[in-house]
Structure 1
Amino acid sequence: KTLCHPDDICPLTLTSATQELFGCRYDGDVTRDNPYKILRKEDILQDLRNRAAVSDFSPVKQLVLAYPEDELLLVYDRDFIYGSSFYLVLTVEGKDRHLMPIVAEVGEEALEREPSDVFAAQKTPEPRPWISLGSEQEIEEESVTDSRPRLKCRISRVRRAFGAPVFFSDRNAAETKDGFIECTPYQDKIFSLKQMERHCGVQAIPNCNSSSTQTPWTYPKNMCTQYEPREFSKEEKENCLQSEELKHFISLAVSRLEVAIQQNEIADVFFDDWKALSEDDGGYAGKADSHLKEYQSFTDLHFSQEKTISNISWHPTISGVIAVAMTERLSFEDRINASTKLLLNPSLILFWSFSDPINPQLLLECPDDVFSFEFCPSDPNIIVGSCMNGQVVLWDISAHVERLQGTRSSDTRDNETSVVRYCAVSSIEHGHKAPVTDIQWLPETFEVSRMGVPMENKSGMCVQIVTCAPDCCLMFWDIRAPRVAFQNMADQRKQKVEEKPLENPDGVPNTFKHLNLTWKPLFRVWHITY
């Protein structure tokens, strides 16, 4: 279990480069027996000036600046008690509390030595005050409590015998009347229970084994085997060789065929590129490092902790921006039991930028966990997502493009991440009956009619979406208003470029207001298996 850390420490995750820079490599410079490392405050501030937001000490920059002394204590948390491999002590009292057992054990002579010598003499720490983690509730549940008042028995003697002497003697209980009371067992019909059903096994035949030599036949289906080649007749061969279609095809394919043949002669088709990635052992440094190294990582302890990435996509036009959909790691039964908790914590799509790997740039609020999402090819500011409950969601991030591009001025840009609410969500009654596993935009030059007939899209914009789910159903959706779903969209596209979409009082754009909670699929394609 992860304990709640005190207010005077801050858990940190240090990369291998940071550990080597500050000389705090785990199981090397710091170990379980010697977990402490003294860091100079000036070295930490210099690292913040050099690497800025990429520095691992960026989350505690203000706390380091406010620290009164010149040396800070870094502790190696091997057992991840506070959730990370290291934690930084941010107060002088906390530093003294960590180092007090060492000073008391070693004595005053150790204070004149180096800090590393003091850490080497560390002994078993003193007992700390007990912190409640809820175990007393488990003990209370397991303890035996009275479910009814206890029975009381009163024994008394006649008043004339009060104060009389008591004499004890032996006697035979069988010879004395009322010498003892025998409690013989008997059947009380009031409390008798009848056994209505009983599970028992009876083996009256020898063991039987079922075996076969053929593969299991799950369901019958028609199959055929061709045992003679089907060939053209001589007349058909002559007509095919003399046809204009064959000559036209050969004239188009001969150039590609020549290029392929030349490549086969120049390049070794049997060359193993995977083995070529490895390098020979070089020099005195030992074996060469041929593994792929981590270039960048994005972590958020509030929005992405203990969650699974269901989909990830690069922004089509903005370089260095990536969108990630997060889902809860719960089974179907656990999701039902924790439904109330999930409603209080909405699902999100996080936008990350390589310029700031610590704080997400934008958050898209979802009605449920999103399994897949796609940017619109004709307008990257429009995003469509598919939810676990079978709904389809639309977002419009036009008002937040400057934040993703990093063009907003520093004096107006705040550190708080903006949360964008969805513009429209489909009707849950007319959507999929299972989690939507994939979603795609149809090309801007293609659309389908309500009867499923392919048509030319003259608007030049992607206006239709196709989704699939395990309910054996494909659904086609149209983002236009129903009355103009099959009209030319050129005028509407021009109007959209000239006019900025208005927003309602909640800050949600009115781009797809006509679809919210009433959006239905254009038509469905069922796939039935037998």
Structure 2
Amino acid sequence: MEIVYVYVKKRSEFGRQCNFSDRLGETNVDIQPDPSQASNFIERDPIDAAIQCASDMSEHEVNTERFEMENQGVNHLEGGWPKDVNPLEMEQTIRFRKKVEKDENYVYTIIQLGSLMEHCIKQNNAINIYEEYFEDEETADVADEPPSAKTISVFRDPNLIKRTATHLSWHPDGSKKLAVAYSSLEFQRSSKDMSYESYIWDLENPNKPELVLRPSSPLVSLEYNPKDSHILVGGCYNGQIAYWDTRKGGQPVELSTVEFSHRDPVYGTIWLQSKTGTDCFSASTDGQVLWWDIRKLTEPIETLVMDISRKGVLENALGAIALEFEPTMPTKFMVGTEQGMVITCNRKAKTPAEKIVGTYSGHHGPIYALARNPFFPKNFLTVGDWTARIWSEDCKESSIMWTKYHMAYLTDGCWSTIRPAVFFTSKMDGTLDIWDFLFKQNNPSLSVKVCDEPLFSLRLQDTGRFIGCGSKLGTVTLLEVSSGLCTLQRNEKNLATAVSVSCCKWPRGPGCASCHSPLAGDPGPRALALSCPLCLSDV
């Protein structure tokens, strides 16, 4: 536990100004030559000398030991009281203080301590002449730079029979590694010779994976533990949950039993915030959300059936494809279903019926991506069918923004970790779209043709500069976006908040003029693209 107390004080309220002035040079050390050493030198004849216009410079290298830092906490308790004085009794402590203050040595001791404390305070108020006092207020002005993205590296599935890169997970410490889950999601298309292996790639070595993970069934989802970067949890195609410790090799440390696991592929596994760092939960198209402790995977800790009628009937449950959990909202989580519906849940509710809080409907097919905005957790992104939608918990009727209906199916999406108005979507035609709804609403700010085969998975690095794209043939392409897409713009948070609030308050419209279908809302500035979801005509 790290215990820190931060003292904040304005720069103008302490210290003294540094005044520099010119002065003449002075000699500190003068080492005279030793005449006795002259006999050790031999004149060389002839001499070849190369002459250059530039002056010769000496080269020197030194290796220093790496400084190791550690955090330590100290609990400060009030002490120094005599045994006959109870520090919890106010009357006894006041009586003892009055007695001590009357002592002759009390004033002398205070004067000595005062001079010592004054010295420490002066040390804290010393000026750092190299400190940048206005560094936080400076924001890069990159509005004139056109958005762009370039390919950094490509990681290919080393097997002959290619599989889909179904899920990506960045290493939590430094993001120098990328874990990729490989599986064939096409029904009854897997062959006997198809490999079950998934890989951990080192970004500096794209030719060979750093570690090979060998599950009992192909992995559909794979996640690093944010508290322990050596631990990974994965959801298998046959419904089992497994976890790995990279220090122990590629074999799973423990595997859940088949009878207590999911009945369908595990499309989502997420780590929970806990003291032990061993708790996680998973979702599958069998209509269940299961909570696990990886120290004991024999059976789940808790089970929730995705039955929106709140009767807990597994036959009526909606299949879960996308799973979302925000650590800043530890009691809430959301599930994206095969039926195009988002289910909001409360884990801390007393009964299973109370755990299902509400639903959001707006997609015509499965929801493949579900993510909260890291800056505004009440706003979340859903990706399904041919469009991406942005929702707000303050607006239950419909989504507050949506993209146009594309010709190609959308497969995944995520928010930028640096800019609150930027999000990414991938499509079946191999295109990566980058949206900035403060800059352009009707079309993406940048569309990048990553590969010829369909893209199936996306994952953005924490720095917001690098994004990994997994394809149907197992190729993971690492892209670097331009600085304008990963640098916070001036007043961007306030502008994004204003757009969200105005979209929530926009009045609902009558319907589509072509097919007369009731629209989710008025096609004003609240929509990213203006098209009817049924007839696809412009509104």
Q: Does TM-score exceed 0.5, indicating one fold?
A: no
Whichever structure has more helix as a proportion of its residues is 1
Higher Rg of the two aligned structures: 1
Whichever structure has more strand as a proportion of its residues is 2
Normalised TM-score (structure 2): 0.29
Q: Which has the higher contact order (CA 8 A, sep 6+)?
A: 2
